[in-house]
């Protein structure tokens, strides 16, 4: 968006939240069909807003990567594959996947799993690296490198907390959870 684009026009030009697409009956549907507004799609598929699923899971990511910590909040998101890997870890380690969960139920169960992690041997599903990020904004801005209205100066580092006794390791806090 060119700098100065009115907010309503910028949202129209930027487009709607992207969907994640998955098979009917997937564990995501079983667990989150109500709180995350999963919708039917063609061919027995289901869809869910990326930001809804990302918001539910992203506060559990850990990183020690300077490129992740310095990344602009609105400039990148975890890839769908990384979100899926984290989800599969959770359901493989005690988060119920065959019953409907409220977001509070999910957080309670996910917190219990997270509490068991050995911070000296972090499971790969939890460790977010620069390769696990999908850029949502051109780093230099849009339209010939000009500034954009949507690229903010807040980085993931502003929404993270240090992991005690592990210098350089932080837990991301998802913007929607603040």
Contacts (Cβ under 8 Å, ≥6 apart) of 138? 148
Has this prediction a pTM greater than 0.85? no
Q: Which residue has the tokens 């010939």?
A: 144
pLDDT for the residue 143: 47
| Closest to 102 in 3D by CA, of 149, 36, 40, 146 | 36
Give whole-number Cα distances, 152 to 61, 64, 70, in Å.
Answer: 21, 22, 12
pLDDT for the residue 54: 84
- What is the pLDDT confidence band of residue 151, given thresholds at 50, 70 and 90? very low
- What is the pLDDT confidence band of residue 48, given thresholds at 50, 70 and 90? confident
| Closest to 117 in 3D by CA, of 47, 167, 169, 53 | 169
What stretches of 13-132 adopt beta strand conformation (E)? 19-23, 39-41, 45-49, 62-63, 76-78
CA-CA-CA-CA torsion sign (45, 94, 111, 104): positive
DSSP secondary structure code for residue 89 in this structure:
H
Q: Which residue has the tokens 């996947």?
A: 97
> How confident is the model over 112-139, as pLDDT tens digits?
999 999 999 999 999 999 999 887 765 5
């Amino acid at each position: 968006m060119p700098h100065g684009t009115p907010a309503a026009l910028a949202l129209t030009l930027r487009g709607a939240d992207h969907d994640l697409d998955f098979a009917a009956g997937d564990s995501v549907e079983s667990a989150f069909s109500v709180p995350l507004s999963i919708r039917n799609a063609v061919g027995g598929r289901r869809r869910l807003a990326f930001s809804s699923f990302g918001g539910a899971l992203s506060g559990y990511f850990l990183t020690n990567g300077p490129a992740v910590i310095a990344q602009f909040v609105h400039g990148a998101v975890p890839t769908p594959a990384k979100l899926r890997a984290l989800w599969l870890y959770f359901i493989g380690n005690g988060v119920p996947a065959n019953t409907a969960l409220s977001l509070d139920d999910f957080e309670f169960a996910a917190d219990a799993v997270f509490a068991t992690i050995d911070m000296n041997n972090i499971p790969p599903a939890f460790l977010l690296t620069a390769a696990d990020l999908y850029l949502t904004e051109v780093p230099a801005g849009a339209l010939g490198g000009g500034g954009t209205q949507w690229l903010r100066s807040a980085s993931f580092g502003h929404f993270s907390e240090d992991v005690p006794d592990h210098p350089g390791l932080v837990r991301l806090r998802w913007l929607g959870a603040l």
